[in-house]
Structure 1
Amino acid sequence: MKTKECNKKIKKMFPEHQELIQKLRHDDPHFAKIFEHHEELDKEITQLELNPVNLINDDIELLKRKKLKMKDEIYKILTQTTQSSPLS
């Protein structure tokens, strides 16, 4: 994903954790992988939703649930990291 697009998504997703997200994406391979997978799911869902044939598609709902689980995991890591070592 392009950096500019990704930055917009970060600002919308967890605006209070922008700096920490950038740091973890750079320093933590597990977090970076989860974050990237979340973005890939987002793109896939968007593409499927653009096609009217797919509007009644259970696969889209399944992908949305997976994406939400990834977002929950991202948030969990962010909050745990913030609690263990707050950014100054």
Structure 2
Amino acid sequence: MSHTPHELAEEFPQHIEKMSALKVSDAHFAKMFEAYHEVNRAVHRAETNVEPIAQMAEVDLRKKRSALKDEIAAYLST
């Protein structure tokens, strides 16, 4: 398991199998899933000062991560 906080497997442990299946069978879900991980890694790098960015840019990334997470949660609840 990754040491990056907010990984989807940690956020939705009850849906790990469903996420795996959707990544293969649903192109839109796969795209959201990958976008979430890209944004989440960028947030983590900014928070840990591996790749520091302006505060407002970091806030924008967190908002994007939250929106993607909400969209993924809605997909998983159906």
Pair in the same fold by TM > 0.5: yes
What TM-score, normalized by structure 2, do the two folds share?
0.82
User: Is this contact kept in 1: 2:45–2:51, CA < 8 A?
Assistant: no
| Percent pairwise identity | 30
Higher helix share: 1
Structure 2: where are the runs of 5+ without partners? none
Kindly report which structure 2 residues correspond to 1:1-88, keeping only aligned pairs within 5 A, or say none.
5=2, 9-51=7-49, 54=52, 57-80=55-78
Residue 20 to residue 58, structure 1, CA distance change in 2 (3 Å)? same
Report the aligned-residue RMSD: 2.1
Structure 1: where are the runs of 5+ without partners? 81-88
Higher relative contact order (CA 8 A, sep 6+): 2
| Count of matched residue positions in the alignment of Structure 1 and Structure 2 | 74
Q: Which runs of 4+ in 1 moved over 6 A?
A: none
In the alignment, residue 35 of structure 1 is paired with which amino acid?
Answer: F
Residue 52 to residue 22, structure 1, CA distance change in 2 (3 Å)? closer
Structure 1 or 2, whichever has the larger Rg, is 1
